[in-house]
Amino acid sequence: MKKIKLLALSGSLRTCSYNTATIEALKLIAASSGIEIVIGNIKDLPLFNPDREDDHIPAVIELKSNVGDSSGLVIASPEYAHGISGSMKNALDWLVSGAEFPHKPIMLINASPRASHALAALKEVITTMSGNIIEGALVSIPLLGSGLDRDGILSNPEISNALKAALNNFCSEIQALKPDKPVQSTS
């Protein structure tokens, strides 16, 4: 049985980011079910420049390679001024022209349920890039202002169960999309 491998990206570069803490927690939740999550790096990407798409920039090559190698992509991104964080949009801009992103199953995590503008903008961009947003894997968790770090998320039953359920749905959908590549259950 082939194991599933996911790539997770946080749209915040802040050290104590709730979004980063969430994907770190999700990585541990997944590992306990035999699902591998690779945490990707967007902080070393230069600002997107269409003139530089063929420049073999290491951080761009790494991102594209990680997306291409993954069965699905987990995105946890903050809302800044009612928009997608520039860092996350910049990462997506680098992926627009490649073959790695289209049809990729996407799980969205929203760490601030009251923040709906960036989530809507992110959905529009991902759909335009032919990403496959798995609605059953979309999870909103009230982390903003909670003070919870990775371990706090893991020890909060409500939040960790919501993440586990969304991850389960995500992996089931990926399995259904690729019947030739069954994955281990996360339950």
Please report how the helices 18-31 and 157-177 are oriented relative to each other, as an axis angle in degrees rounded to 10.
70
Tally of CB atoms within 10 A around 62: 14
Residues paired with residue 132 on neighbouring β-strands, in sequence order: 105
* Pairing of the two strands 72-76 and 5-10: parallel
* CB of residue 24 to its own copies, shortest distance in Å: 17
* CB of residue 92 to its own copies, shortest distance in Å: 7
Q: Which is nearer to its own copies, 29 or 105 (CB)?
A: 105
- Return the closest-CA partner of residue 74 out of 149, 118, 11: 11
* CB of residue 165 to its own copies, shortest distance in Å: 29
Q: Give residues in contact with its own copies (CB under 8 A).
A: 12-15, 42-43, 45, 47-51, 80-93, 96, 117, 121, 124-125, 127-129
Q: Which is nearer to its own copies, 125 or 165 (CB)?
A: 125
Residue 135 corresponds to which tokens in the numbers above? 């609605």
Q: Which is nearer to its own copies, 3 or 52 (CB)?
A: 52
